[in-house]
Amino acid sequence: MAHAGWSVFAGEAIAVAEALPQVSVDISWCGFDNVGAPIATLGVNRVMSGCDLTPNVPVVLAAVRTLGVSEEDEAMVMGGAANEILKLNLQ
């Protein structure tokens, strides 16, 4: 789900993803205050970073790093989950 419902509908996006295991969320445009909830609720295997503007990548990375997740979890959110979900086969 794009932008994890944005900041306004983040709770609803998480509820949909909880109810439907085939739904994953992208946390770009989610806002610093809404980045942790999808990761804590759904796990890093169903949360990914996506962006339509490359200047947003450092912002999303900074938001994820404020959570204090492990390097492995950060790597999943910043590309690993997308690689697995979308079957990109990137190394």
Q: What are the pLDDT digits (tens) for 42-71?
A: 999 999 998 788 888 998 999 999 999 999
Judge whether residue 31 has pLDDT over 80: no
Domain-embedded: residue 91: no
Parent domain of 30: 2-85
Per the prediction, the chain carries an average pLDDT of: 91
**Which of 33, 27, 29 is closest to 74 using CA atoms?**
27
- The residue written with tokens 């439907």 in the block is 20
Residue 89 to residues 16, 51, 54, Cα–Cα distance (Å): 27, 20, 22
Q: How many domains does the chain have?
A: 1
Q: What is the pTM of this model?
A: 0.88
Domain-embedded: residue 8: yes
pLDDT at 61: 93
pLDDT band at 73; cut points 50, 70, 90: very high
